[in-house]
């Protein structure tokens, strides 16, 4: 499901001007495309990283 | 002169802290107009402090190797009574009441602060082309960027203006300027150096570290800055049998030809010292970079969001990044931290095979000021993404990483090596880095402030 960044941006306080959202939406869409398969592959029960002790 | 050489000269009464500090201040007055490395110069306070450090040493109170040496702090570190701008309009008149922990520790070690160094606005970028305080310039070619965000620190150290400058690193901000300016710079293990009192960008990716002319200087500085320091500073070590991992994937896929040549030379040098070169395959580093970008975009908004009502006071690149962060959901952020846990676990398996890993620090030498794309192996790449490509994942992993010079291009620009080690194994970086530095014998080269032609 694609995020409607323009709609989201106009609802923020302060809003992101339309001219600015035109520039950043493609960057976010590309990032979302890279991130989606990583999210989909998270095994259930995986905790969040919470600090350096997790690096061990 | 290195930190060890200066420390020795001070104790032999061949030079005083006041003389070293005067020399540093004179160099800054002469060179800073060319490179814009400093935002604030604390001339009067530095001279008074140097006199006090000389008096202490004369009384037999010796605080260690940094006693009486002129240093600089990135203008992101809070300094009591000295404005701390973060390279931003928001903090242009901010005068902290307290020192950052790292500033206090270096004060306790006897260092003499001569000023605050320039940076990319709010430490959120890699060019140090600051819209409010001007572009910091690379001493090796003043038409090129020094890297960033700790660009002023890299430029000040490379130009020989100070022995040490502090830096912060959220996605390469110590190591990129170290690579582009030909200095040694350490991004320590996460939280090995306190972040308290440093204006934050990303709470789980920010790291504080030293930037110096040599690896041994970097080790000496780190020992003064770190929580629970080991005290280790390498002399002449044996790295026979040390297992150096050399990635066969990712790090050599898209690389400037001269960087690739320098990397081959450094691997040969390590092998000649008796190290074992072990070919390894690293996990999907692009995936780790992706997670790093999600985390940074969101955490930066968490820190800087309250200032967003003043949109006109941000530079356009920083504002664009903050806007991106506002459009990422909480669920995406939480998932990025979950993926991060898996990625750390996966990467840590490499430490059963090797003791450290060699990679190029950046895929190219320093780009020109204002350059937005760079050609690497025949393809154009965004300068920011290219410069952070080998760096950002290391902040996600939280492991220590040393950047240091490993060569120069034909046109005289520094080329950087990155050495990675397991968590809290900074001493391994000092040991290996110092031997490589001796073998390559590059540290006596100094920039000539060459202005490139049209």
CATH number of B3-225: 3.40.1670.10, 3.30.300.30, 3.30.565.10, 3.90.1300.10? 3.90.1300.10
Look at residue B449 in the predicted model and tell me its pLDDT: 62
Query: Is the bond preceding B149 in cis, omega lying within 30 degrees of 0?
Result: yes
pLDDT at residue number A50: 84
B336/B297 Cα distance (integer angstroms): 11
Confidence of residue B237 (pLDDT cuts 50, 70, 90): confident
pLDDT of residue B346: 97
> Residue A46 has which token pair?
């995986």
Q: Say whether residue A45 is in contact with chain B using an 8 A CB cutoff.
A: no
> Which residues of B are known catalytic residues?
74, 149, 173
Q: What is the DSSP letter of B405?
A: E
Q: Work out the percent of chain B whose per-residue pLDDT is above 90.
A: 96
Question: Alpha helix (H) ranges present in B305-388?
Answer: 316-326, 330-348, 383-388
Q: Which pairing describes strands B164-169 and B207-212: parallel, antiparallel, or unpaired? A: antiparallel
In this prediction, residue A1 carries a pLDDT of: 55
Q: Which of A1, A13, A35, A44 to probe the B interface (max B CBs under 10 A)?
A: A35
Please state the φ and ψ torsions of residue B413, each to the nearest 5 degrees.
-90, 140
What is the DSSP pairing of strand B276-280 with strand B243-247?
A: parallel
Which of A16, A43, A55 lies at the smallest CB-CB distance from B323? Answer: A16
Determine, for residues A39 and B294 on separate chains, whether the beta-carbon distance falls below 8 Å. no
The closest CB to that of B332, out of A35, A46, A47, belongs to A35
As annotated, the residues of chain B forming the CATH 3.90.1300.10 domain(s) are: 3-225, 243-430
Residue located via tokens 């110590």: B174
Q: Is pLDDT of B123 > 70?
A: yes
DSSP chain A: ----HHHHHHHSSSPPPHHHHHHHHHHHHHHHHHHHHHHHTPPTTPPPP-SGGGG-
> For residue B28, what are the contacts with CB-CB under 8 A and spacing of at least 6?
B37, B38, B41, B114, B115, B156, B161
B268, two tokens: 């040969």
Percent of chain A with pLDDT over 90: 68
CA B175 to chain centre: 4
B243-430 fold: Amidase signature (AS) enzymes (3.90.1300)
Mean pLDDT of B11-29: 98
**What was the ipTM of the complex prediction?**
0.94
For the segment B321-347, what is each residue's pLDDT rounded down to a tens digit? 999 999 999 999 999 999 999 999 999
pLDDT for A45 beyond 90: yes
Contact predicate B223/B185, CB 8 Å: no
Cβ atoms of B56 and B63 within 8 Å: the answer is yes
Contact of B404 with B433, CB cutoff 8 Å: yes
By Cβ distance, the residue of B319, B327, B344 closest to A5 is B327
Strand B184-187 relative to strand B70-74, pairing: unpaired
């Amino acid at each position: 499901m694609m995020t409607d960044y323009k709609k989201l941006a106009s609802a923020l306080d302060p809003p992101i001007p339309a001219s600015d959202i035109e520039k950043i939406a493609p960057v976010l869409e590309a990032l979302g495309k890279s991130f989606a398969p990583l999210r989909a592959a998270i095994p259930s029960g995986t905790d969040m990283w919470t600090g350096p002790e997790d690096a061990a | 002169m290195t930190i060890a050489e200066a420390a020795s000269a001070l104790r032999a009464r061949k030079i005083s802290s006041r003389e070293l500090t005067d020399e540093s201040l004179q160099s800054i007055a002469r060179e800073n107009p060319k490179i814009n490395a400093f935002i604030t110069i604390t001339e009067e306070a530095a001279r008074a402090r140097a006199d006090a450090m000389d008096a202490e040493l004369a009384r037999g109170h010796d605080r260690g190797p940094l006693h009486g040496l002129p240093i600089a702090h990135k203008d992101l570190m809070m300094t009591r009574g000295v404005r701390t701008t973060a390279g931003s309009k928001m903090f242009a008149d901010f005068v902290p009441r307290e020192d950052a922990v790292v500033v206090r520790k270096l004060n306790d070690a006897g260092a003499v602060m001569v000023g605050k160094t320039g940076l990319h606005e709010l430490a959120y970028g890699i060019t140090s082309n600051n819209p409010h305080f001007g572009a910091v310039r690379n001493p090796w070619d003043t038409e090129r960027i020094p890297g960033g965000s700790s660009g002023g620190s890299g430029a000040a150290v490379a130009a020989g203006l100070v022995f040490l400058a502090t830096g912060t690193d959220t996605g390469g901000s110590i190591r990129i300027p170290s690579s582009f300016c030909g200095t040694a710079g350490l991004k320590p293990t996460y939280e090995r150096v306190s972040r308290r009192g440093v204006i934050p960008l990303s709470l789980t990716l920010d790291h504080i570290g030293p930037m110096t002319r040599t690896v041994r200087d970097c080790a000496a500085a780190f020992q003064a800055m770190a929580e629970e320091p080991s005290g280790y500073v390498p002399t002449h070590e044996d790295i026979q049998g040390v297992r150096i991992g050399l990635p066969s994937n990712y790090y050599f896929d898209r690389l400037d030809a001269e960087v690739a040549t320098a990397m081959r030379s450094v691997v040969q040098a390590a092998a000649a010292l008796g190290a074992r070169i072990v070919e390894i395959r690293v996990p999907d580093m692009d995936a780790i970079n992706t997670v790093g970008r999600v985390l940074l975009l969101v955490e930066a908004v968490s820190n800087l969001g309250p200032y967003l009502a003043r949109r006109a006071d941000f530079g356009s690149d920083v504002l664009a990044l903050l806007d991106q962060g506002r459009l990422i959901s909480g669920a995406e952020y939480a998932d990025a931290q979950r993926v991060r846990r898996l990625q750390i676990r996966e990467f840590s398996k490499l430490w059963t095979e090797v003791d450290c890993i060699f990679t190029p620090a950046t895929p190219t030498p320093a780009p020109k000021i204002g350059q937005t794309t760079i050609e690497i192996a025949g393809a154009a790449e965004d300068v920011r993404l290219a410069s952070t490509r080998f760096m950002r994942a290391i902040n996600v992993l939280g492991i220590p990483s040393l950047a240091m010079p490993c060569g120069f291009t034909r046109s005289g620009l520094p080329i950087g090596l990155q050495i990675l080690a397991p968590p809290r194994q900074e001493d391994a970086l000092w040991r290996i880095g110092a031997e490589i530095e001796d073998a390559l014998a590059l540290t006596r080269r100094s920039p000539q402030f060459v202005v490139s032609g049209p």
